[in-house]
Structure 1
């Protein structure tokens, strides 16, 4: 078995710049365009491929999370494809047996984290570029544009080894919410999305009853990098501790939640799963309750 060249789930631009020529590494831009909703039910999204064509890391390819890297037959946006379909999508961008992936984006890291979680769930070695394209560019590193003149190499598709424990479905979420099953529901949306004070892309506003709020964007610094370990631990620990287990993360569509999953993984937590359908699926059924209001912090008396 080939040893992965990745040092962990997060790499910085210095590490990657020194290894761009490593044939085991495939760098993938996972950017999706997802503007803020103008009114309830306003779900607009588009592939980030055009932006990738304009400027990207040298040698990188685009992983389309609105296309091959989602289950387009599913009723919700961005639904993870089945393991074999995901392996085929990876092969089309040059990721095969023996490959390791570095994912990045231009959207604050949530799309790269989403791809990271998807690949982790089929046991493909993968890391996120801390700070994404902005960090790479701010360090004065070169950019490329246009399609790579070299064709995508033929690879042996990965043999996925699924990790189903990384996903939680709507029935388990409902049981946790009702107190019928152990677990802690954590919403990764911004505070205004959690309390329902701003428009939502989905049919109804609010959060799943019993949820705590841990906005994913608040786990990043002003440059879009993950907070330093001590600060990250303090921010998370203000409302989530070891007794709050297992942790089930959700957001609107399972994307921002992946950013929180990355942060918790960096802190050493292994009791984390992601509700893929998130509020898009939950809100479709009017029988599933949603709550408005609520504190923006899981435990406000310990807030920061």
Structure 2
């Protein structure tokens, strides 16, 4: 069984829905920003999944089940034991290949990005499971094409998860603080230019991590087709900030390490594999007054 591509098309998935080794995970989560300043609201996509999903898919609850229930910050990585228990129960394990999709990026915003899907895919890869892909365009594209939808819950036999963790995909606030003055590390802020500049206050303090460069996660897909732009266009965005230099390490962050995983996945697609995600992101960073932030 050949390794799955990082990102697959709706056509690719439609041809393989009956593959007995395929595990299709709906990672839909909903996030809505206030009109100006203030933290966002987040809720589970379980109800949306129950109203309609791709046939065979099971619901993967990023908001509750697949995050640390004891953390003060939303979407903090759970313990390895908790993650393996939950993901195995969804059928993921040795001999399976996984496709993750979601139902959209941000409520009320015209942003095309499968960043909830890449969040779960990144968690799988962090725990060592490599045979995972994200559906380009997600559920919105699937619907646009008139492909089959069901309300019948999916189900898979429990998986046997044997992969070993890859700690190099994860960084802490201490790692990021050290990276600020390291010329061999590119730190990417994945939020909007307004957040980066300090014009919007979502996290309690304005601005971005010093030395970071801004590559907005919502700028990688065509709003008409919902597909990723061609490789040349994607490459240009990241080449401008030096992130495709094979001799550099890249750290991505955002608000809660969701959008950051979309940037990380696109970088991986472009051949940059030395990429880590700052899991605490600005939710954690801004709360610690000893950590620097700057505005533009």
Q: What is the TM-score when the length of structure 2 is the normalising length?
A: 0.91
Matches within 5 A, 1:176-215: 176-177=179-180, 179=181, 182-200=184-202, 202-215=203-216
Shift of 1:75: 2.2
Partner of residue 239, structure 2? 237
SS at match of 2:119: helix
Q: Which residue of 2 aligns with 1:127?
A: 133
Counterpart contact for 1:97–1:155, Cα < 8 Å: no
* Paired residues for 1:1-304 under 5 Å: 3-4=1-2, 6=4, 8-38=5-35, 40-107=37-104, 108-124=113-129, 125-148=131-154, 152-177=155-180, 179=181, 182-200=184-202, 202-222=203-223, 223-240=225-242, 241-242=244-245, 245-293=248-296
TM-score by length of 1: 0.89
Q: How far apart are residue 285 of structure 1 and its match?
A: 0.7
1:154, distance to aligned residue in structure 2 (A): 3.4
1:93-123 deviations in Å (ceiling 9; x for gaps): 2223222110001113010111111111122
* Other structure's SS at 2:41 match: coil
CA displacement 1:205-245 (0-9 Å, x = unmatched): 21001100000111111133221111111222222241671
CA distance in 2, matches of 1:159, 1:103: 20
CA deviation after TM superposition for structure 1 residue 140, in Å = 1.7
| Matched-pair contact (CA < 8 Å) for 1:254–1:276 | yes
Task: Assess if the C-alpha contact under 8 Å between 1:25 and 1:101 holds in 2.
Answer: yes
Instruction: Report if the CA contact (8 A) 1:40-1:204 is conserved.
Output: no
Q: CA RMSD in A?
A: 1.7
> Tell me, what secondary structure is at the counterpart of 2:295?
coil
Query: For 2:118 and 2:196, how far apart are their aligned partners in 1?
Result: 21
Q: Conserved in 2, the CA contact under 8 Å of 1:94 and 1:154?
A: yes
Aligned length: 285
**Unaligned runs of at least 5 residues, structure 1:** 294-304
- 2:196 is paired with a residue whose SS is helix
Moved more, 207-216 or 227-236: 227-236
